[in-house]
Structure 1
Amino acid sequence: MQISAKADYAVRALLELARDAARPLTCEAMASSQEIPFRFLKSVVGELRRAGLVRSQRGCEGGYWLGRPADEISLLDVMRAVDGELLTLRGESLADLEYRPPAQGLPAVWRAVEAGAAAVLGSVTVASLALDGAQPRPGVGSAEDVLV
């Protein structure tokens, strides 16, 4: 499993916006603060805007704000906004994956990995990270919880 640069940059940009939600930030300011390539961040913020996670305003008083409250934006929301499917196999969804014996049980393992990752990412919000660098709750997404 790989976390994309887009997902990492998107979360970091949202954390910058959550830091001071009262004023807009430019892409230049977010890119500079987080040491993210500006052109790449501009593209990522566009995807976040289309997903409703940020809103924008043009002009000298313009910039970007969070599109919803930070406590309503999970890392799962962010990753799906910029990457689509959380986990794929050769670019395909795991939903309809089937194998012949003796590998017939493997698709269930891949789906469990996806469910575990979704549980962890869904349990962490931008607000919780902005407050204290939150860690996933114990037991959420553990192999014991997912592989039943």
Structure 2
Amino acid sequence: MKIKLSMIYAARMMGYFTKSGEPLIKCEELVKAAKCSYQYSLKILNMLKNGGMIVSEQGCKGGYRAARNAEEISVYDIVKIFEVEDNRCETRGMSQELYDDPFHIYLKNDMEIQMERWKFVKLKDLYSKSEM
């Protein structure tokens, strides 16, 4: 797994939902919270929307809202959105011999264990004390 900038920016945006307490947040606020460019934030917001994390409200008083209780969003929820594509391609071009290699099996199993742990780490706990 690669730690991607987009994952960190997405976590910052979702962390902002937990801190703000506002049901609807303007895109500009999320861009400021994530500290990334407006164009890049639109890409991330689209991925969060497609991943079922947020819902967009159109109109002059529109913005984004968490699709579920923002305080229950975990590290796992963010990672799975950005890792799905990588996991699908994980074994592309890999021979069966390498796929069955004990080192590969160990890393794959260890990553699955770590992903399970991340389900219990909530963004609200990570971002509650940070300055956004």
Name the TM-score class by shorter chain.
0.7 to 0.9
Partner Cα distance (1:129, 1:105) in 2: 34
Partner Cα distance (2:4, 2:127) in 1: 21
Q: Deviations over 1:14-47 (max 9, x none)?
A: 0112212334222222112331111111111111
The answer on whether the counterparts of 2:73 and 2:122 sit within 8 Å (CA) in structure 1 is yes
- What's the secondary structure of 2:65's corresponding residue? strand
What fraction of aligned residue pairs are identical, expressed as a percent? 20
1:83 aligns with 2:83: yes
How far off its partner does 1:93 sit? Answer: 4.9
Paired position in structure 1 for 2:40: 40
What stretches of structure 2 of length at least 5 have no aligned partner?
Answer: none
| RMSD over equivalenced CA pairs, Å | 2.7
1:27 aligns with 2:1: no
Aligned pair in 2 of structure 1 residues 104, 131: CA closer, same or farther (>3 Å)? Answer: same
Partner Cα distance (2:47, 2:59) in 1: 20
What stretches of structure 1 of length at least 5 have no aligned partner?
Answer: 134-148
The letter for the 1-side match of 2:78 is V
1:92 aligns with one of 82, 90, 93: 90
How far off its partner does 1:123 sit? Answer: 2.0
Give the length in aligned residue pairs: 128
Q: Which gives a bigger RCO, structure 1 or 2 (Cα 8 Å, sep 6+)?
A: 2
1:1-148 equivalences in 2 (<5 Å): 1-84=1-84, 88=87, 91-93=89-91, 98-99=96-97, 104-132=101-129
TM-score normalised to the size of structure 1?
0.71
Partner Cα distance (2:91, 2:31) in 1: 32
TM-score normalised to the size of structure 2?
0.79
Paired position in structure 2 for 1:140: none
Partner Cα distance (2:53, 2:95) in 1: 31
The letter for the 1-side match of 2:126 is L
Q: Deviations over 1:31-76 (max 9, x none)?
A: 1233111111111111111221111101121101111112332111
